[in-house]
């Protein structure tokens, strides 16, 4: 049986990769994908602890995380479309002003 620490290390590695993507990538769509990657890394931790503690609550929190991630993806991609229509770019370096 896989020990919990292996799952937590997998979760840490995926989270760090997502964090690196958010920091170094400039394409806003890829930055959003990296955010999804970080959310999934956290889900791995929740599932690992649910298994370790023999409690189902972790799975329910994963369910809520997925619902929030779906809402975030929908609104975020709408923002990307609005930004592309307004500025004709998806590069985050070109969108660095709060005002139009």
Partner 1 sequence: MFEQTMFYLFAIVSVIAALFVVAGKNPISCAIALIVTLGALAGVFVLQEAHFVATIQVLVYAGAIMVLFVFVIMLLNLGPEDLEKTPRFSRLKGAGGIFAAAGAALLAWNFVSYAARAARVGPGFGGLAQISQKLFTEYIIPFEAISAVLMAAVVGAVVIAKREL
52 binds partner 1 (CB under 8 A): yes
What would the two tokens of residue 65 be? 């995380």
* Rounded Cα–Cα distance for residues 15 and 70 (Å): 18
* Rounded Cα–Cα distance for residues 80 and 87 (Å): 10
Report how many residues bind partner 1 under the rule CB under 8 A: 71
Contacts to partner 1 from residues 4-43, by CB under 8 A: 4-21, 23-27, 29-30, 32-34, 36-37, 40, 43
Instruction: Name the minimum Å distance from CB 14 to partner 1.
Output: 6
Contact 18, 27 (CB under 8 A): no
Contacts to partner 1 from residues 61-90, by CB under 8 A: 62-64, 66-75, 77-82, 84-85, 89-90
């Amino acid at each position: 049986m896989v020990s919990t620490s292996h799952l937590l290390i997998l979760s840490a590695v995926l989270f760090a990769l997502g964090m690196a993507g958010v920091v170094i990538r400039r394409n806003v769509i890829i930055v959003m994908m990296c955010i999804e990657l970080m959310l999934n890394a956290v889900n791995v931790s929740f599932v690992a602890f649910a298994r370790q503690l023999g409690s189902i609550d972790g799975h329910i929190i994963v369910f809520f995380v997925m619902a929030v991630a779906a809402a975030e993806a929908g609104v975020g991609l709408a923002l990307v479309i609005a930004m592309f229509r307004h500025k004709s770019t998806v590069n985050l370096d070109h969108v660095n002003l709060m005002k139009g």
